[in-house]
A and B are shown apart, each in its own frame.
Chain A
Amino acid sequence: MLVHEDLCVGCGLCVKYCPVGAITIVDRKAHIDQDKCLECGTCGRQRIVKCPRGALYENPGVYTYPRSIRKFFSDPMAYHPETKVPGRGTEEVKTNDVTGRVKRGEYGIAIEMGRPTVGASYVDVEKMTMALSKFNIEYEAKNPVKTLFLDEKKGTLKEEAKQQSVISGIIEFTIPAEELEAVLETIMETAKTIDTVFSLDLICRFSDEDPYKMPEVPVLEKFGLAPRPNNKINLGMGRPLVEE
């Protein structure tokens, strides 16, 4: 975002709304640090931030590559040109009853780099994808991160992507159940080397034997992991229901 300096009266109202602290008041004018700004769009939304002068406006270059990477991975209202899905990820568990993306005997993993609140540079995303390259991972085809690979097998990302930071970039893939332990070990080891946070998601099917019992994943204990008490459940209402 940019500021019309001639309009801004330096009231400071917008400052607190920026999730990454990119706005400061300098010489009684709002100043947006263009390196820090992730182009999430929040400060420019008049229904949220009631700038008395309408002084905040979208940088016209924000949809031009590679700055557009910031926009598409930070502003949930920007539709990715490749996936036509707003936001940073995919339909994941939301439509798993219809897509069958994660089947019994498999786990879906999402590593949400930068989430919550901190943001991530694609240098950190690459650290994770390179570490995962020892596995034969097929990244989720509809996830926009897939478009940023230089060499998907090696896990390397395009140079221009690595110069960008975003609110979050989601590394998303499905693995056979027997690989879970080794993949989690790699994720946890890599966690020690990155300069941001990530949220870790695990998608699994409910069992046939007790359809109301939350799936149990014994291997998690080895890593001291316990799912939060609040989770996201697909209720199986989509049609046609995927048959396995």
Chain B
Amino acid sequence: MSHTLHRFGPEETFQNDFPFISRPAMKINSDGAAPKMRRVMEIALDHEPVNWGSLTTKQNLTMGFDREELLNKTEDNSPAMGCFDDRDKVVAVLKQLKEEDLGMSVVITGLRDKVEEMCHEAGLTPHSADLALGIFGATELLPEDETLCFTTMCGHAMLSAGLVRQIRKAVREGRMTPEEGAKILAKPCYCGIFNQTRAAMLLEQEKEANQKNEE
């Protein structure tokens, strides 16, 4: 599941979007990995991710999050998954992880220059890249670009285009704030990689553009 890849939208909207995943490799370094994964999660959570999720406890940060329950249920194959909206926080997490040398794999998704720069700062040498080459086939079946910007933040496609359209409309019409809208849209993504800060920014931009058009 390359579910943090293929986040769609204009390049400038990814300035503060950094999905984070860490996990052991099954049958290679997964035996006895639970305390290490727990520590990875503690370090990440101490640096205030914008979202965090768990398929084990079936919760993400936007729905009322029990940190201790999540940490206590960490198993050898539990992945750590979430999203940051501030590159300095990511660098701080990476520096701490490097210092403690826990040996669990870490991937960050983000604008290539930014991730390279962050690796430099944290003293890390990137190993491999998963490049998003695009979407092909019967692309006429896709929702409009403005909606795809949101739905692709849940890589498992649990966020429906219909819900996104409904929330976009409610924010445009002033029936909901961008932050309220972003929180509703974040819920279906249990992995916690949906970035509410980016979603609120997109909703705000659309609202402003709409107001200008009406003037």
Q: Whole-angstrom distance from the CB of A12 to the nearest CB of chain B?
A: 11
Of residues 189 to 244 in A, which have CB atoms within 8 Å of B's CB atoms? 191, 194-206, 211-215, 217, 220, 225, 227-241
The docked-state distance in angstroms from the alpha carbon of A221 to that of B54 is 39
Taking CB as reference atom, which chain A residue is nearest B167? A16
Q: Does A183 contact B (CB under 8 A)?
A: no
**With A206-B129, A231-B5 in contact, is A99–B28 under 8 Å at CB?**
yes
Q: Return the CB mask of B87-99 against A: 1 if under 8 Å, else 0.
A: 0000000100110
Q: Which of B7, B163, B190 is close to A77, meaning CB atoms less than 8 Å apart?
A: B190
- Choose, from A59-67, A87-95, A152-160, the stretch at the interface: A87-95
* B112 and A77 contact, CB distance less than 8 A: no
- Choose, from A3-11, A28-36, A40-48, A130-138, the stretch at the interface: A40-48
* B133 and A225 contact, CB distance less than 8 A: yes
* B25 and A91 contact, CB distance less than 8 A: yes
* A94 and B21 contact, CB distance less than 8 A: yes
Of the listed residues A19, A99, A167, A196, the one surrounded by the most CB atoms of chain B closer than 10 A to its CB is A19
The docked-state distance in angstroms from the alpha carbon of A87 to that of B156 is 8
Q: Which of B6, B108, B125, B141 is close to A118, meaning CB atoms less than 8 Å apart?
A: B141
| Residues of chain B with a CB closer than 8 A to A85's CB | 26, 77
* B14 and A117 contact, CB distance less than 8 A: no
The docked-state distance in angstroms from the alpha carbon of A18 to that of B111 is 31
Q: Whole-angstrom distance from the CB of A147 to the nearest CB of chain B?
A: 16
Q: Does A69 contact B (CB under 8 A)?
A: no
Q: Does A110 contact B (CB under 8 A)?
A: yes
* A191 and B187 contact, CB distance less than 8 A: no
Q: Does B213 contact A (CB under 8 A)?
A: no
| Residues of chain A with a CB closer than 8 A to B155's CB | 115-116
The docked-state distance in angstroms from the alpha carbon of A161 to that of B31 is 34
- Choose, from B116-124, B174-182, B200-208, the stretch at the interface: B116-124
Q: Does A188 contact B (CB under 8 A)?
A: yes
**With A117-B142, A117-B143, A201-B131 in contact, is A95–B23 under 8 Å at CB?**
yes
* A97 and B29 contact, CB distance less than 8 A: no
* A116 and B152 contact, CB distance less than 8 A: yes
- Choose, from B44-52, B55-63, B66-74, the stretch at the interface: B55-63
| Residues of chain A with a CB closer than 8 A to B135's CB | 116, 197-200
Q: Does A54 contact B (CB under 8 A)?
A: no
* A227 and B25 contact, CB distance less than 8 A: no
Of the four ranges (under 10, 10 to 19, 20 to 34, 35 or more), the interface on chain B belongs to 35 or more
The docked-state distance in angstroms from the alpha carbon of A87 to that of B2 is 10
| Residues of chain B with a CB closer than 8 A to A95's CB | 23-25, 28, 105
* A214 and B116 contact, CB distance less than 8 A: yes
**With A194-B137, A231-B112 in contact, is A98–B28 under 8 Å at CB?**
yes
The docked-state distance in angstroms from the alpha carbon of A229 to that of B14 is 9
| Residues of chain B with a CB closer than 8 A to A195's CB | 138
Q: Does B83 contact A (CB under 8 A)?
A: no
| Residues of chain A with a CB closer than 8 A to B138's CB | 118, 194-197
Q: Does B157 contact A (CB under 8 A)?
A: yes
The docked-state distance in angstroms from the alpha carbon of A108 to that of B128 is 10
* A237 and B106 contact, CB distance less than 8 A: yes
Of residues 1 to 27 in B, which have CB atoms within 8 Å of A's CB atoms? 1-8, 11, 14, 17, 19, 21-26
Q: Does A57 contact B (CB under 8 A)?
A: no
Taking CB as reference atom, which chain A residue is nearest B4? A232
The docked-state distance in angstroms from the alpha carbon of A198 to that of B1 is 14
* A203 and B14 contact, CB distance less than 8 A: no
Q: Whole-angstrom distance from the CB of A231 to the nearest CB of chain B?
A: 5
Of the listed residues A118, A168, A232, the one surrounded by the most CB atoms of chain B closer than 10 A to its CB is A232
| Residues of chain A with a CB closer than 8 A to B141's CB | 118, 196-197
**With A235-B94, A235-B127, A238-B103 in contact, is A230–B142 under 8 Å at CB?**
no
Q: Return the CB mask of A108-125 against B: 1 if under 8 Å, else 0.
A: 101010011111000000
**With A76-B158, A198-B135 in contact, is A229–B128 under 8 Å at CB?**
no
Of all A-B residue pairs in the complex, the 4 with the closest CB atoms, nearest first, are A239-B103, A238-B105, A236-B127, A87-B1
Q: A197-B138, A206-B127, A234-B106 are in contact. List 14 more A-B contacts (CB 8 A).
A: A19-B159, A94-B21, A98-B25, A112-B2, A112-B6, A206-B125, A213-B116, A231-B110, A233-B110, A234-B128, A235-B108, A236-B126, A237-B97, A239-B29
